[in-house]
Amino acid sequence: MSFSIRQIAKRADGGDIIRTRLFDAAEITVGRGTDCDIQLADLGVMLRHARLSQLAGGLVAIEATGGIPLEIGGQFVNRAELVVTDNPQINIASHRLSLSAGETADTIAITVERVIPANDAADASAETGIFSLRETMPSKRVLAWALAGLILIIGLALPLWWMADRDASLPKAMVAEAARGDGSASRAGLLPVTPVAAKGAMQPDIVWSSGQLSDAHAGLANNCGACHQAAFVSVTDSACVACHKPETTPDHAGKARMALGRLPATGAIAVIHKQLNLSETRCTGCHKEHEGPRGALMVAQSFCTDCHAGLSSRLTDTKLANVPDWAGHPQFKPTIVRTALLTTPLFTRVSLAQKPQEQSGLLYPHDLHLSTSNAVANMVKAQGLPGQDGLLPCNYCHVRDSDGVRFKPIEMEKNCAACHDLAFASDGGTTRTLPHGKPQQVAGIIRDFYLAQALSPRAGVKRLAFERRQPGQMAELETADLRITSPAEARARADAAITGIFSKGGVCADCHAIINTGAPDIARRYSIMPVTLTDHYLPKGRFPHKSHETFDTKTGDAACIACHTGVPKSHLASDVLLPPVASCRECHESSNVRTNVAAECSTCHGYHYGEGGHGGDVTRPRKVGP
């Protein structure tokens, strides 16, 4: 009855230390306690962990005495009887007891060894890693790869792949819009463009967009290919011209003159541009995109003045004065009528500085018509025309045209006839009126009137006088003696009447200058001086009256007069009542902060439209008379 125990300890350098003891007893104890036969220095073990007792027939009874079940062949038991010959193994914490038959019949060999090494086995130097973050963080390398990879995919690979087979067709609507080429005002930046929503889903290459597109081009947001047609090639004019056809976007001036007039680029930049063959005249030279809503039209002032500052030196035959900048903008030179002619009136440009006099052929004293006390005022009241106590408002005659830039032409019938009527006889209720602008006919009508009375006089026919009266209440003249006895008398009376009308004090002479040809035939003797009214004084620019209607808190006539200061005092139609450039400067780029507004060239002038692309319109003179 004995146990032979082989206790195996591992040496640090790997070797084994085997200690064997023989217990001449039927029973041995296992535990951490010093009093145990098999002592296991392992805190996982109870002080007295188990008891082994040898039974007859090669059996061993093992019993947990520490209250912790023993692990035998995978099961946890508190007591077991083991057959020694099938070499059972008992696990106690990190140790293992292997039983086997000993040398002699009644000895049992127990091999005790630690199967789970103690934690302080590893050497310190190996563990110094715990002092660095390497063990707790993903390596910098991994992070770097991951981030860089992600960015390269989204920022480069995807867009490139997309770019390879993209559909660069232009949106129809926008092409059409551009082709119509109207909205010159809007192009002058006077009216806002409503951005066209971009069609289609967002594209991968959007990440390459360097900024928001201008409203006009907003529709191309998902269509980079529309402009950026080839890789590594700066946007070409062909891309622009695809929509903006020359006929709707004319050149600023003839190629030849442009070439002459342009300030040639110099310096390093010019060289670089040359190297990359970026033409100085390319669209993108002036029009920068991806610069926000107004980007494409945000053309720098300097782009104009670069050339116009010293234009005359390069373009020697130019009529244009040099314009260094707004402050140096020359005085307005309105286009005025030098000789009014029915067929080909003559115009001339005279600087306001030279107090120009216009020969429109019409007589119109503004002061007379803008009085509140004279006959005109009474008449206005009597006729119930608009205006405060008889003061005729500007817009009675000057009516804004549709786009609010300029004014409808003035017409005798619309704007004058209310007071200046041409009735001359009444025939039983019906009032006979002379036609306007037809002097021969007028003569004819009057002569016929008298002749008719001579041949077959009728009662109830009255001649009317031309004094200013309420119409219908005119003094009857010659009612009694309108019995003409002889044709000779009739002719004499007719001649007198015609002469009266056309001569001073006559109804025509109120507004017109009369020419006495002295022809024997009375009907051919008198004719009217032709009238030409200027339709557009400053054809090279645009002045949007509409947006100036209220000005410096004034409205209505006050607003008009604020600029057209000469009007109330002018009693000659020959006065040119335009405000000088100075009065623009009162607000535009003025030092007066309250009213200060921008004054870019493009505020008044255009580039790509109008006559010679200067943004004005052809003058349309108003001719009067046959």
Partner 1 sequence: MAAGIKAAGKAIVRAPRDTAHEGFLTHKRSRWLKVSGVVSITALLAYALIDQSPRANGGTALGYTLGTIGALLIVWLSMIGLRKRIITTKPYSLKAWTSAHVYLGLSLIVIATLHTGFQLGLNVHTLAYVLMMFVILSGLWGIIVYTRLPAQLSANRNEATQPQMLEAIRALDAQLDIAAQPLDRAESDLVRLSLEQCDIGGGLWSRLTGNYPRCGNARALAAVQAIINAQMRTGRPDARLNQILFLLERKEAALAQARRHIRMKAQLELWLYVHVPATFALLAALTAHILSVFLYW
Partner 2 sequence: MVKGHKVLPGGEKGVSEHFKIAIVGSGPAGLSAAAHAAKLGIPHILLEKTGHLSDTIFKYQKGKHVMATPSQLVLRAGGTGVDGQGGLPFEAGKRELILGNWDAGTAAAKVNVRLNAEIKSISGTGTPIPGSIQKIVTRKRDGTSETKELQRHAAPYRLVLTDGSEIIADAVILAIGTQGNPNLMACPGGNLPHVQYQLDDPAEYNDEHIFVIGGGDAGIENALGLAADAAQGNVVALVNRTAEFSTAKDANVKALMAARDAGRIAIMAGTTTKSVEPGWIVMETPDGEVRARCDRIIARMGSAPPRGFIEGCGVEFASDDRLAYPKLSAVFESTAPGIFVVGALAGYPLIKHCMNQGHDVVEFINGNTNLKPADEPILEAKFRNLPGNRSVSEWLDHLRSNVTILEGMSALQMREFMLDSEARAYRAGDVIFERNAPGSSLFGVAEGTALVEIDPNNPAITVPLNQGTIFGEVGLISGRRRGATIRAQGDCILVEISRTAALRLMAAVPSARREVNRITTERSVLQIFKSGLTVGDLADIVATARVETVPAGKAVIREGEDGDDIFIIRSGSMVVEKQIGGKPVFLNYVPAGSYIGEMAVVDGGTRTATVRAAVKADVIRLGGEAFRALLAEKPELKARLRADMATRIQMNSMIESKKDSFRGVVEMYTGVANFLIDNGVGEATDVLLIDETLCVGCDNCEKACADSHDGLSRLDREAGRTYAHLHVPTSCRHCEHPHCMSDCPPNAIHRGPTGEVYIDDSCIGCGNCQRHCPYGVIRMDKVPPKKPWLINWLLFGQGPGPGEPDKKWAYKHAKAEAPKKAIKCDMCTGQSGGPACVRACPTGAAIRVSPEQFLSVALLDRGND
Binding residues for partner 1 (CB under 8 A): 32-34, 41, 43-44, 46-47, 66, 118-120, 124-125, 127-128, 130-133, 135-137, 140, 143-152, 155-156, 159-160, 163, 205-212, 224, 228, 231-235, 268-269, 288, 291, 298-300, 302-303
Of these partners, partner 2, partner 1, none, which one is at the site of residue 32 (CB under 5 to 8 Å by kind)?
A: partner 1
Residue pair 621/345 in contact (Cβ under 8 Å)? The answer is yes
**CA-CA distance, 601 to 511, in Å (whole number)?**
40
CB nearer partner 2, residue 132 or residue 210: 132
Torsion angle of the four alpha carbons 428, 430, 432, 433, in this order, in degrees rounded to the nearest 10: 160
Of these partners, partner 1, partner 2, none, which one is at the site of residue 208 (CB under 5 to 8 Å by kind)?
A: partner 1
Side chain identity, residue 245: K
Any residues with CB less than 8 A from the CB of 619 and at least 6 apart, and which? Answer: 335, 347, 534, 535, 536, 539
Query: Among 620, 588, 587, which Cα is nearest to 401's?
Result: 620
Query: Among 45, 15, 20, which Cα is nearest to 30's?
Result: 45
- The residue assigned the tokens 């929509």 is 243
Of these partners, partner 2, partner 1, none, which one is at the site of residue 246 (CB under 5 to 8 Å by kind)?
A: none
Residue pair 536/617 in contact (Cβ under 8 Å)? The answer is yes
In the complex, least distance from residue 613 CB atom to partner 1, rounded to whole angstroms: 20
The DSSP code for 224 is: G
**CA-CA distance, 249 to 607, in Å (whole number)?**
9
The DSSP code for 86 is: G
Of these partners, partner 1, partner 2, none, which one is at the site of residue 11 (CB under 5 to 8 Å by kind)?
A: partner 2
In the complex, least distance from residue 353 CB atom to partner 1, rounded to whole angstroms: 32
CB nearer partner 2, residue 10 or residue 545: 10
Of these partners, partner 2, partner 1, none, which one is at the site of residue 13 (CB under 5 to 8 Å by kind)?
A: partner 2
Residues of this chain that bind partner 2 (CB under 8 A): 9-13, 15, 17, 19, 126, 139, 141
Report CA torsion sign: 268, 273, 279, 284.
negative
Of these partners, partner 2, partner 1, none, which one is at the site of residue 352 (CB under 5 to 8 Å by kind)?
A: none
CB nearer partner 1, residue 22 or residue 152: 152
In the complex, least distance from residue 110 CB atom to partner 2, rounded to whole angstroms: 19
Of these partners, partner 1, partner 2, none, which one is at the site of residue 173 (CB under 5 to 8 Å by kind)?
A: none
CB nearer partner 2, residue 128 or residue 136: 128
Report CA torsion sign: 482, 488, 494, 497.
negative
In the complex, least distance from residue 186 CB atom to partner 1, rounded to whole angstroms: 19
Torsion angle of the four alpha carbons 180, 183, 186, 192, in this order, in degrees rounded to the nearest 10: -80
In the complex, least distance from residue 436 CB atom to partner 1, rounded to whole angstroms: 55
Residue 222 pairs in a beta bridge with none
CB nearer partner 1, residue 145 or residue 378: 145
CB nearer partner 2, residue 10 or residue 244: 10
The Cβ of residue 518 has, within 10 Å, a number of other Cβ atoms equal to 8
CB nearer partner 1, residue 152 or residue 346: 152
Residue pair 501/494 in contact (Cβ under 8 Å)? The answer is no
In the complex, least distance from residue 31 CB atom to partner 2, rounded to whole angstroms: 18
CB nearer partner 2, residue 148 or residue 271: 148
